[in-house]
Structure 1
Amino acid sequence: MKKLLLTVTGTVTVLILIVSLFSLNQTNRGLESKLSKTEKELKTMEQLINQEDKFTDTVANKKKLTVIEEGLRTYLDYDNATYLTRFDHLQNKATDETIQRLKELSSTDPPLLDVKNQLKELTIYLHPTEELIFLVQLTTEYSLDHEVVSRLPQLYQVTLIETNGEYHISQLTNLGLTATN
């Protein structure tokens, strides 16, 4: 009888262990499924965040590049009629200090001869570590009395400042003429 009781008890214990192991295995599979689903959702969220960051960076860079290009075109594209007024048009593109420095570099009187300066080529290079500093390679064409007298390839360093989400040129440094082929 003791043997039978021990055998029945042992069998019941083994059955309980088997049922418990089966139940734990099912619970484990359910948790693994939930974990896998959560990991997929996390990856999707990370991808969306990365895309949003890239979009935000692209929008910010587009704003910066637009300010630089429009600012340089406003400053460098001029003729007799716009020689002095170009500085007024720089108001939304450059800081007051920068505009004042550019005015100081120019004559306070319009030219006596018929002049025209045109920005012909412009390439903007991003700085590898500074997000508000750019190198700009450009070519201007200068005409006197409707005759082109020079084509000047130049290199500028442009520094921007951000105020309330808007960018302005805070420093414009002419690094000199560049070599051409």
Structure 2
Amino acid sequence: MNKVLAVFLGISILANVILGLMYVGQRATVSQAEEKTVDSKKQIVQLKDESHKKEKALTTFRQNESYYEIEHSEEVKRFVDETFKELFNYDNKTYAARFDLVRNKLAESVISKLMASGEMGSTQIEFSNKVKALNVYLSAVEKDQAKALVNMETQYSVGGSEFPRKNQIYEVTLVQNGDKWLLDKLELMGSFEPFEQN
């Protein structure tokens, strides 16, 4: 019986050693899997951060690209140029009618202010205002909004007598309405007579 007990004890010890080795092997495999899972989670977080940064950079690039397009747009500059010439080239016959030319280019509030600032009745005295030079400098505010500084040189005359040329600086706010631009705000920043020094 001792022999059977010794064999049984030997088999039991051998089984425990095998189970112990299997447990240690399984534990090592689980630890490796946990380490790989933690590493994978770190990589996923890192990739999400990189993706977010690249998405943000792309959004900034697109925004800057649209700003650049507005600031260098010949179409917008031409719109401002034409609007100012239609608005500020006038004589006593066309003074009131000029607002009809620009009605679809100016916000109603701008037209109201301009009409309120001048006499709309006809006069017998001949007068005229001619735009001699115009420079437009654009700056984008949003993808559908821009500001412009306009330096306009005009020649005003009354009864055939010309006054000295005058420069006026305007700040203009433009908004895009569909595929068209609208002059939303017009503010005279100042006027001066050119000074030349030889």
1:72 and 1:101 mapped to 2: Cα distance? Answer: 15
**Residue 91 (1) aligns with residue 103 (2):** yes
Assess, with a 3 A threshold, how the Cα gap between structure 1 residues 35 and 11 changes in structure 2: closer, same or farther: same
**Residue 15 (1) aligns with residue 29 (2):** no
Q: Is the 8 A contact 2:136 2:150 kept in 1?
A: yes
Alpha-carbon displacement from aligned partner over 1:66-85 (angstroms, at most 9, x marks no partner): 65444323212345775443
Paired residue for 2:155?
142
Q: Aligned-pair distance for 1:53?
A: 3.6
Number of residue-to-residue matches in the alignment: 179
Identity of aligned residues (%): 15
Paired residue for 2:130?
117
1:122 and 1:76 mapped to 2: Cα distance? Answer: 14
Secondary structure (helix, strand or coil) at the match of 2:33 reads helix
**Structure 2 unmatched ranges of 5 or more:** 1-9
**Residue 151 (1) aligns with residue 143 (2):** no
Q: What TM-score, normalized to structure 2?
A: 0.59
**Structure 1 unmatched ranges of 5 or more:** none
Secondary structure (helix, strand or coil) at the match of 2:114 reads helix
Q: Aligned-pair distance for 1:11?
A: 1.9
2:112 and 2:41 mapped to 1: Cα distance? Answer: 68
Q: Aligned-pair distance for 1:90?
A: 1.0
Report which of the two structures shows the higher radius of gyration computed on alpha carbons. Answer: 2
- Of 8-17 and 107-116, deviating more is 107-116
1:67 and 1:161 mapped to 2: Cα distance? Answer: 12
Paired residue for 1:177?
191
RMSD over equivalenced CA pairs, Å: 4.4
